[in-house]
Amino acid sequence: MKRLGITQQGIRSKVAALGAFAIAATLAVAVPTPAAAAARVDNPYVGATPYVNMQWSAKAAAEPGGSAIADEPSFVWMDRIAAIEGVGEALSLREHLDEALDQGANLFQVVIYDLPGRDCAALASNGELGPTELGRYKTEYIDPIADVLDDPAYANLRIVTIIEPDSLPNIVTNASGEAGSTPQCAVMKANGNYEKGIGYALNTLGNIPNVYNYIDAAHHGWLGWDTNMAPAVDQFKKAATSEGATVADVHGFIVNTANYSALREPHFKVTDSVNGTTVRQSKWLDWNFYADELSFAQGLRSLLISRGGFEPGLGMLIDTARNGWGGPDRPAGPGPLTTVDAYVNGSRIDRRIHAGNWCNQKGAGVGERPTTAPQPGIDAYVWAKPPGESDGNSQPIENDEGKGFDRMCDPTYTGNGRNGNSMTGALPNSPLAGHWFSAQFRELLANAYPPLDGGGGPGDGDTQAPTAPTGLLVTGKSSSSVSLSWTASTDNKAVTAYDVYRGTTRVGSPVTTSFSDTGLTASTAYSYTVRARDAAGNTSAASAAVTATTEAGGGTGTGALKVRYRNTDASAGDNQIRMAVQVVNTGSTAVSLSTVKLRYWFTPEAGSSTFGAHCDYAVLGCGSVTSSVKTGVSTTGASHYLEVGFGSGTLAAGGSTGEIQLRLNKSDWSNFNEADDYSRSTTTAFADAPKIGAYVAGTLAWGTAP
């Protein structure tokens, strides 16, 4: 083993000296080592004890107050070929894996980051390989990493990879003449080496049974517009099916890698309006469909499955290492209702000058601690970019790491097309990307949210637990979900979250006093309790338990009808839902149309609770078609449904109603977010629609009800 400035023994000594660390306690309690050659699990973070990078941990602990987070697990970055064997005092990949075994960890997190022409729009994170050096990427970078990860010594580790941050999104937004496009991105789009490199990495690493690949998917301030989001999904699909890879090699996606976008914006929603003007028109949102990373991650996940053909069990990760935005500048509530910009700017906790700013952002804070399965569709909150590691240098620095000087890291730079020609908001005196930046680390601690140690900083010593939640009620249920609400707890500092338990299993940690538990079994009884938690980690006693039995469910239709559908509205976020449907009689006898009803399930989000429903065209004639919106189950993507009926007449055996064009709107004409709607599909040609129900005399004859 090569000689290191910080030896293996030295690192182990640091572990002993920091014996108060509860390694990875925020993710899970320690569990027995899994059996050899264990099959892949749905969520690698469940029941996992992740590796704490002790080289990062030692640097964090050496900073004032840093011991408050020095025991948190984070990703190890393989940002150049030399990193595989280790550079200077940095451990090699194999040495990190050995340290993980010594810690008793069973999960290891690593960033794969060295594509040819890497990050074509950000000089600070340019890499060592030129645009055409795909062969070197394969043989000198991916293959050696795969050889290490495939060592039987590490077979009991769940190895989570982040595949190539930033590169694919650049092909979508910065390669075709858009504001901020670069010649380098145009070259990478033309030669296809991003897709080929990522496909090769997915295929090669995906062949290792204990590896879980997550592709980087930028953040809401990059891809949150419909003009970017759908093309990005197509780009991800293209990469995931290149060089022998398939979508099965993709376990999930990660958003907000090394970025600062807020996890949640608690004081405003994209559906809000001020004096009749939607907040999407504000300068900050600039017509974006998303205001934060959680909603973006969940919306993107739905589109990846429906449009991209990725696996239904797809999991999402969110990097929360630096998106807390606490401290004295954090708004306590909504902004003034004078103008839409005043409202949004006064409400938003993300205090950046522009959502396109990404380098060493002033005022940022440590965000949510790594947490397993915090929300539906989210495998974990993770720390992909370890706090304290610089995004890039604020002035030119000669180096042998292939890292250039990007003016977005210069606090005096007045910006470019990618950040609306705004000031960068970068901290001064920053070192090269990946190098330790003490001033940034200290600011991240000071502005942490949830605050460290109850908000008083390290050593505050808050030991008082919140009061137990009261008034736990079942507010709704379906065949696959239960909705709950409760009365808020109180605390001497502040309640920061509630932990909802189904039996003894924690199923969510909302920050509000309501929660919907989804993915349940029909006709099954479930018991729930809730505990309150404060920023110092003090947890209340459990609430009184409530029991809910799920509905019997709509079941799956087995009758003699089928519904065909095509999407007539490319936008998933405008103020109408539009579609065309037709009903086909697949049986051998005629069906009376007066007995037939169709149900298209959707969610209206915020806004008016009344609706308009319209028939724009029908082969039968719109006079023969009725339509109205009704309240249905309370589950993901399906709280309401458009019900379509027919007048007199029959549908002959083998016959079709022909095309029926429909649309609906909220009475206040506020926008929908259709990306997660149960019945929606992106197909623009007629195809069978198993998630649109057809009922005959009240009995489900076609489709699967939510």
- What is the distance between the alpha carbons of residues 502 and 550, in angstroms, rounded to a whole number? 13
Please name the amino acid found at residue 136.
R
Q: What DSSP character marks residue 301?
A: H
pLDDT tens for each residue of 382-419: 999 999 999 999 988 888 877 778 889 999 898 877 78
Q: What is the mean pLDDT of residues 216-236?
A: 95
> What pLDDT does 3 receive?
23
Domains of the chain (ranges, CATH numbers): 54-443 (3.20.20.40), 470-550 (2.60.40.10), 561-702 (2.60.40.710)
Percent of the chain with pLDDT over 70: 91
- Six token digits for residue 89: 């005092």
- Taking CA 252 as the corner, what is the angle to CA 248 and CA 258, rounded to the nearest 5 degrees? 145
Give the model's confidence band at 106: pLDDT under 50 very low, under 70 low, under 90 confident, else very high.
very high
> What pLDDT does 14 receive?
38
Reply yes or no on whether 688 is catalytic: no
Q: If DSSP codes are grouped into helix, strand and coil, which group holds residue 185?
A: helix
Q: How many C-beta atoms lie closer than 10 Å to residue 24's C-beta? A: 22
> What pLDDT does 570 receive?
80
Residue found by looking up tokens 């080592």 in the block: 33
> What pLDDT does 177 receive?
72
- What is the distance between the alpha carbons of residues 306 and 549, in angstroms, rounded to a whole number? 30
Phi/psi at 78 (5° precision): -100, 85
Contact 54, 381 (CB under 8 A): no
Average pLDDT, the chain: 87
- What is the distance between the alpha carbons of residues 261 and 259, in angstroms, rounded to a whole number? 6
Contact 543, 500 (CB under 8 A): no
Among candidate residues 71, 114, 119, 534, the one labeled active-site is 119
Residue 73 burial by Cβ neighbours in a 10 Å radius (0-12, 13-18, 19+): buried
Q: What is the mean pLDDT of residues 340-364?
A: 95
**Strands, E assignment, 62-106:** 76-78
* Greatest mean pLDDT range, 101-115, 518-532, 544-558, 598-612: 101-115
Contact 277, 231 (CB under 8 A): no
> What pLDDT does 553 receive?
57
Contact 526, 548 (CB under 8 A): yes
Q: How many C-beta atoms lie closer than 10 Å to residue 277's C-beta? A: 14
Residue 192 burial by Cβ neighbours in a 10 Å radius (0-12, 13-18, 19+): middle
> What pLDDT does 26 receive?
39
User: Whose CA is closest to 501, among 480, 526, 536?
Assistant: 526
Residue 63 has pLDDT above 70, yes or no: yes
Please name the amino acid found at residue 592.
S
Contact 175, 188 (CB under 8 A): yes
- What is the distance between the alpha carbons of residues 444 and 440, in angstroms, rounded to a whole number? 6
User: Whose CA is closest to 581, among 493, 642, 634, 653?
Assistant: 642
- Taking CA 570 as the corner, what is the angle to CA 564 and CA 575, rounded to the nearest 5 degrees? 100
- What is the distance between the alpha carbons of residues 78 and 384, in angstroms, rounded to a whole number? 12
Contact 579, 674 (CB under 8 A): no
pLDDT tens for each residue of 128-152: 899 999 999 999 999 999 999 999 9
Query: Residue by residue, what is the 3-state secondary structure of 578-627?
Result: EEEEEEEECCCCCEEHHHEEEEEEECCCCCCCCEEEEEEEECCCHHHEEE
Say what the pTM is: 0.64
Give the model's confidence band at 534: pLDDT under 50 very low, under 70 low, under 90 confident, else very high.
confident
Contact 236, 304 (CB under 8 A): yes
pLDDT tens for each residue of 176-212: 777 668 889 999 999 999 999 999 999 999 999 999 9
Contact 162, 75 (CB under 8 A): yes
- What is the distance between the alpha carbons of residues 265 and 258, in angstroms, rounded to a whole number? 19
Contact 263, 320 (CB under 8 A): yes
Residue 233 has pLDDT above 90, yes or no: yes
- What is the distance between the alpha carbons of residues 104 and 321, in angstroms, rounded to a whole number? 24
- Six token digits for residue 197: 């490199």
Q: If DSSP codes are grouped into helix, strand and coil, which group holds residue 401?
A: coil
Which residues neighbour 646 within 8 Å (Cβ) at sequence distance 6 or greater? Answer: 593, 594, 596, 620, 624, 625, 626, 657
Please name the amino acid found at residue 126.
N
User: Whose CA is closest to 104, among 168, 26, 160, 51?
Assistant: 51
Give the model's confidence band at 479: pLDDT under 50 very low, under 70 low, under 90 confident, else very high.
low
Cα–Cα distances in angstroms (integers) from residue 196 to residues 134, 189, 234, 243, in the given order? 8, 11, 15, 6
- What is the distance between the alpha carbons of residues 363 and 326, in angstroms, rounded to a whole number? 8
Contact 18, 71 (CB under 8 A): yes
Residue 18 has pLDDT above 60, yes or no: no
> What pLDDT does 2 receive?
27
Residue 28 has pLDDT above 60, yes or no: no
Q: What DSSP character marks residue 687?
A: E
Contact 30, 49 (CB under 8 A): yes
Q: Is the peptide bond prior to 450 cis by the omega test (within 30 degrees of 0)?
A: yes
| 28 against 231, higher pLDDT | 231
Q: How many CA atoms, within 13 angstroms, populate the side-chain half-sphere of residue 1?
A: 15
